[in-house]
Amino acid sequence: MQASQHINGESQDWSPTSWRSKPIKQVITYEDQAAANAACKRLSALPPIVTPTEIVRLKNSLRDAALGKAFLLQGGDCAELFSYCADEPIDAKMKLLLQMSLVLIWGSNKPVIRIGRIAGQYAKPRSSPTEMLDGKEVPSFRGDILNGYDPAHRRVDPERLVSAYFHSATTSNYIRAQLSSGFADLHNPIDWELGHVRDQELQSKYQTIVQSISDSLRFMNTIGADTAGQLQTVDLFTSHEGLVLEYEQSLTRSLKHPSGHKPSQPSPDRKGWYNTSAHFIWIGDRTRQIDGGHVEYFRGIENPIGIKVGPSMKNDELVQLLDIVNPSKEVGKITLITRYGADKVESMLGAHIEAVKASGHIVVWQCDPMHGNTRSTPTGIKTRSFNSIFSELSSALKIHKQHDSYLGGMHLELTGDAVTECTGGSEGLVDEDLSLNYTTYCDPRLNEKQALELAFLRGELTFIAAVELDAQDPAFASRLSSLGAVQPNPHYSPTSTSQFDPQRPRSTNEPSDMMQAPPASAFPDPRNNPVLQVLEARQRISDLADDEMRDVGRRGFAGRTYVDAGVITLALMKQVRGEPESRIEQALGIKKGRLSVLSRGTVGPVQMEG
């Protein structure tokens, strides 16, 4: 069966193999092509790992995220190894995603859709075909699906394609089994204890949420409203980058659509092409060329898909891409995973949002604040700072609000282990700490504590963004005015003698319906109005902060003078723990000496009682 689509007026047939006639990036050369063909043949005969019913369930949820009614949390390793297919690492990641989603639901009051970068995230696109390892140049590690991290196993081995399938299937099976055995039962969120998080503040914030959920559940149980069984488990979908197309092709099957599903490409046999290797796959920033093999493959499948959008993406190119992969403009079919970097998001995201809006596509906008913020330490260790990650996320949220758009999700590289791969966070990890427990095989991940902190801060951002939006709203001043803060509030006082009091008893020789208009000079000059002055000052500060953000990460940048509430919160938490100011400033990227302003009693952390 072939699907047909019109591009530039020409009919373009699609099949699971049509990508093979297109140019491709990140080419894989199998020394033994016959062995690669045999591996693909074997894969084609194996059963699906996920089913159309599950895929369509995710698709429907993502539609909600595109429409602003749900939030998508996607996270997991940069490079998942076959050796992570074991109960402990899988449990740790599931727990972390569940903990984060609880916090996010709490913060956003919206349902959270969970997708793991798990059960198949085995392929890595690399910047260079070779890398230096212990002073020797070796072929780059391209993920367990192709070669091994051990320098002795860097040759691409086709047997690994089959091995990837079995590790993926085993991981998926364990996730499903755990979920159906009460792992995610909302009645026991206490069981998702914070593994290695010893931070008292974070522990108690989390416990407050858990306690409150337990109280609500007890109440629902008492009144008999807790009987639908929906609280016993949640969905946790799987995803990976669809990089190795021979693997993806082998698991692409023509299957019956679930009943009630309206396919994007209807066919008489009510079947469609489903990628059964994962619920969701995405195209990487390095392989999203309009005329390339990856875009060709992705345009034919029913699954919801992601596209990474980096700083080199042009506005018209983005729209062209959407038209190719989603010609019927299905709402939420595409998740645009933006990853510009904290220093570029301000100059790029707004234009992308406007271009997509004008095209009529309705996508899930997801922020990946990791991949545009990778840097090397002077000793050559790849890292990312919590500050830049948080900064890109908060900018994305703000920009979406400004453009009347919705930030529908976040995409993170994280692990449930106590790794030291990203700097910053409330622990204040610095470059020198990275070697303590640096175990990633590709990009630096947030550890459990940093990931959870980010979820809490994301919740707080919703609140801050709402306040900021009010401040920028031109109607705000007029609303204030009607509340009386800007203009004198006409009030009734039986003894009032003011000629401007509308309810003042009139003199008998004034007609009763005559309401004297007060002279303009009776109102204070708005330029002197304290409320408007505060709003203007806030705007000026916000502009200065935006200017400063553009320099973050540049050589010679002395640190930020203007930081947001999230960073101040982190700084205060560290201060309370007695960390020296200079260390806090360094860890959070704040300009030297700025913290002393806070120490003068201007701001203090709020203490929770009990």
Ligand X SMILES: O=C[C@H](O)[C@H](O)COP(=O)(O)O
Provide the annotated binding site. 78, 117, 308, 339, 371, 413, 443
x/- map, 295-324, ligand PEP, by CB under 6 A: -------------x----------------
Closest distance to Mn ion from the beta carbon of 570 (Å): 24
* Distance from C-alpha of 498 to C-alpha of 275, rounded to nearest angstrom: 77
Looking at 114, 240, 279, 339, which residue binds ligand PEP (CB under 6 A)? 339
Partner that binds at residue 127, options ligand PEP, Mn ion, ligand X, none, CB closer than 5 to 8 Å by kind: ligand X
Task: Give the Å distances, CA to CA, from 557 to 370, 409, 560, 561.
Answer: 21, 30, 8, 11
Neighbours of 558 (CB within 10 A): 11
Looking at 124, 352, 400, 445, which residue binds ligand X (CB under 6 A)? 124
3-state class (DSSP) for residue 590: strand
> CA-based angle 340:346:349, to the nearest 5?
60
- Which helix (H) or strand (E) segment holds residue 99: the answer is helix 87-108
Nearer to ligand PEP, 124 or 458 (CB): 124
Binding residue numbers for phosphoenolpyruvate: 117, 308, 339
Closest CA to 65 of 332, 455, 328: 332
Closest distance to Mn ion from the beta carbon of 409 (Å): 17
Q: How many residues bind Mn ion (CB under 5 A)?
A: 2
Nearer to ligand X, 16 or 120 (CB): 120
- For tokens 């890398």, the residue is 131
Q: For the residues of 118-129, what is the DSSP string, one character each?
A: BSS------SSS
Closest CA to 421 of 432, 411, 434, 430: 434
x/- map, 22-61, Mn ion, by CB under 5 A: ----------------------------------------
Asked whether the CA dihedral 331, 335, 340, 346 is positive or negative, the reply is positive
Partner that binds at residue 333, options ligand X, ligand PEP, Mn ion, none, CB closer than 5 to 8 Å by kind: none
Partner that binds at residue 308, options ligand PEP, ligand X, Mn ion, none, CB closer than 5 to 8 Å by kind: ligand PEP
Q: How many residues bind ligand X (CB under 6 A)?
A: 8
Specify the amino acid at residue 226.
D
Strand partners, 131: 138
305-309 vs 252-256, strand pairing mode: unpaired
Closest distance to ligand PEP from the beta carbon of 261 (Å): 28
x/- map, 221-260, ligand PEP, by CB under 6 A: --------------------x-------------------
Neighbours of 8 (CB within 10 A): 5
Closest distance to ligand PEP from the beta carbon of 243 (Å): 8
Tokens representing residue 514 in the block: 């005559």
334-338 vs 407-413, strand pairing mode: unpaired
Closest CA to 298 of 240, 245, 250, 338: 245
Contacts with 513 (C-beta within 8 Å, 6 or more apart), sequence order: none
Residue nearest to ligand PEP (CB): 284
Q: Does 127 bind ligand X (CB under 6 A)?
A: yes
Q: Does 284 bind ligand PEP (CB under 6 A)?
A: yes
Partner that binds at residue 126, options Mn ion, ligand PEP, ligand X, none, CB closer than 5 to 8 Å by kind: ligand X
Task: Give the Å distances, CA to CA, from 234 to 21, 89, 175, 488, 548.
Answer: 41, 19, 11, 54, 42
3-state class (DSSP) for residue 423: strand
* Distance from C-alpha of 93 to C-alpha of 115, rounded to nearest angstrom: 11
Partner that binds at residue 258, options ligand X, Mn ion, ligand PEP, none, CB closer than 5 to 8 Å by kind: none
x/- map, 76-95, Mn ion, by CB under 5 A: --x-----------------
Q: How many residues bind ligand PEP (CB under 6 A)?
A: 9
Partner that binds at residue 187, options Mn ion, ligand PEP, ligand X, none, CB closer than 5 to 8 Å by kind: none
Tokens representing residue 582 in the block: 């200079």
User: Tell me, what DSSP letter sits at residue 236?
Assistant: -
Q: Does 371 bind ligand PEP (CB under 6 A)?
A: yes
Q: Does 445 bind ligand PEP (CB under 6 A)?
A: no
x/- map, 39-78, ligand X, by CB under 6 A: ---------------------------------------x
Burial zone of 292 (CB within 10 Å; 0-12 exposed, 13-18 middle, 19+ buried)? middle
Do 70 and 61 form a contact (C-beta atoms < 8 A)?
yes
Strand partners, 10: 7
According to CB under 6 A, which residues from 415 to 454 bind ligand X? Answer: 442-443
Closest distance to ligand X from the beta carbon of 127 (Å): 3
Binding residue numbers for Mn(2+): 78, 371, 413, 443
Closest distance to ligand X from the beta carbon of 78 (Å): 5
Which of the ranges 283-291, 340-348, 392-400, 532-540 carries the binding residues for ligand PEP, by CB under 6 A?
283-291
Q: For the residues of 257-303, what is the DSSP string, one character each?
A: PPTT---SS--TTSEEEEETT-SEEEE-TTS--TTSHHHHHHTT--S
According to CB under 6 A, which residues from 142 to 161 bind ligand X? Answer: none
Looking at 48, 68, 111, 125, which residue binds ligand PEP (CB under 6 A)? 125
- For tokens 């990227």, the residue is 589
x/- map, 548-587, ligand PEP, by CB under 6 A: ----------------------------------------
* Distance from C-alpha of 24 to C-alpha of 295, rounded to nearest angstrom: 10
Closest distance to ligand X from the beta carbon of 406 (Å): 26
* Distance from C-alpha of 111 to C-alpha of 105, rounded to nearest angstrom: 6
Q: Does 142 bind ligand PEP (CB under 6 A)?
A: no
Q: Which residues bind ligand X (CB under 6 A)?
A: 78, 124-127, 371, 442-443
Binding site for ligand PEP (CB under 6 A): 78, 125, 241, 284-286, 308, 339, 371
Tell me which residues touch Mn ion (CB under 5 A): 78, 443
